[in-house]
Structure 1
Amino acid sequence: MTLEELSARTEIHDVLLRYCRGLDRVDMALVAGAFHKDAYVHFPESLHKGSGDGFVGFLAAEMPRFVRTMHFLGNSLIEFDGPDIAFVETYLEADHQGSELHHWKGEYVKLWARYIDRFERRDGVWLIAERRLMVDWMYRYPATGWFDDHPDASVSHRGKGTDPALRQVAGYHGKALHHA
């Protein structure tokens, strides 16, 4: 493996991670930043099939309807087809808690799926040119009985730009974490 391939793998992986952070923090600029402007997204018909911009618009309306989400990436296989194209399969586990505004109305849904992506390097930048979501299975369960919400859960940081990780890890405004 060449140094260029190792660098490309790292860049591709970082795009995938920023996309998930964007979903979970309801930061659509991060989500949009994962895609080329002319990207095409093949999600299930009930969600979105069409342009990347249309997909980001769908997510901008959908993600705030969840109380919280957590997208966890697992195995990621990256196969190059020349110097500027990569086919990427990434396993995904995603947890969602629907709010009263969502059709899941307080239920929890666990999704096991795979992102099948075509990444392209354009002007030296690797981004998603085409994305397909392959849902392997889902599990819905009610929000009653066994789930005890922790009082310090980070749900209060969702979509407000106040998550400490944004300042520390992503370097937002160069601010360090403030400890209570």
Structure 2
Amino acid sequence: MSDVDPDSEPEPTRRRRLTDAAGAALSAMRAGQDDGALDRVAAAVRAAPDSHTDARELMLMLFHECSGMVAELGSGGSAPVKMQVYDDDGQEVPIDEADPPVRTAVRTLLAEVHGDTDGAKAQIEIALANAAPDEMAALMVQALRWTLRLSDECLNRDLPVPDWIRDTV
């Protein structure tokens, strides 16, 4: 870890660096290169002054954008959106029985959808503190996949998509 204060980076610079990394990852995922997507995100996070903070911020940014797109798909928040979790055989499972990365992803997104940013941060912090590297990779893949799928659905319905996502997908 570096002695550089992560808060010394101006917020617009940090945000641009994170959106660039996420955009490159989304482009790789769109091309069917999930491993390449993770490589791009990992490289950006490792190069950061505080990789823990950047990993957290990158995932929170993706879940926040997903939340906004879920709201758009739910008629601007006036219609409920149902979340379902499926096992490898295509059977629906309760959230509490899902694999830990999927459980974390669902809980983080639900917290964001309900405006509980602190709850979303807590979910990511718990994962960063306790999850194995492969579980963190799975959580990042889930965030990227949802971002890609939700943006596709919003674009198909002529609903708003954040510019940085629209420009990469």
TM-score normalized by structure 2? Answer: 0.30
Which of the two has greater strand per residue?
Answer: 1
Larger radius of gyration: 1
Q: Which has the higher contact order (CA 8 A, sep 6+)?
A: 2
